[in-house]
Amino acid sequence: MKTLLVCLLIWLLAPLGPRSQSPVPTGVWADDSGETHIEIYRCGERLCGRLVWLREPQDPNTGYAKLDRRNPVADKRARPLQNLVVLQDLRYNPDAERWEDGQIYDPGSGRTYSCYVSLTGKDRLEVKGYIGFSLIGRSHYWARVR
């Protein structure tokens, strides 16, 4: 009888325990244009991401590595795109089951947007960039690189 009560108590209190581990989308992802690969990695308790592969790593005009030439900060325009951090400060929200409150930088336009990322499958990631409200924005779907 005592064992039955202990089992019943454990069963009743189990939902109050810690939530399951958050799905962490670390690894290398190909963007939906096929032009870049982004490595998502832990940066403390948050997630960050950097460009690790570009389809065309050299500027066709100069023959040198492509640079962050559209950056609004003049001092940053000489940075190479290779290994440039483009995702920052994503924190896990267990209620929404996604990584959010981060920023994504678009080197093509030089703009930074609010963003969230959410696993939509084992090897598929929704990346949504937006200004202001997440309802107004654009989603991209990245595929895991094997």
Residue 90 above 90 pLDDT? yes
More confident site: 9 or 134: 134
At residue 15, the pLDDT reads: 42
Residues 132-145 as b/e (b if ≥16 CB within 10 A, e otherwise) read eebeeeeeeebebe
- Write the single-letter amino acid at 101: D
More confident site: 128 or 20: 128
> pLDDT band at 22, cuts 50/70/90?
low
pLDDT per residue as tens digits for the range 102-140: 999 999 999 999 999 999 999 999 999 999 877 889 999
Domains in the chain: boundaries: 25-144
pLDDT per residue as tens digits for the range 41-83: 999 999 999 999 999 999 999 999 999 999 999 999 999 999 9
Which CATH number is associated with domain 25-144?
A: 2.40.128.520
Which residues pair with residue 99 across a beta bridge? 92, 117
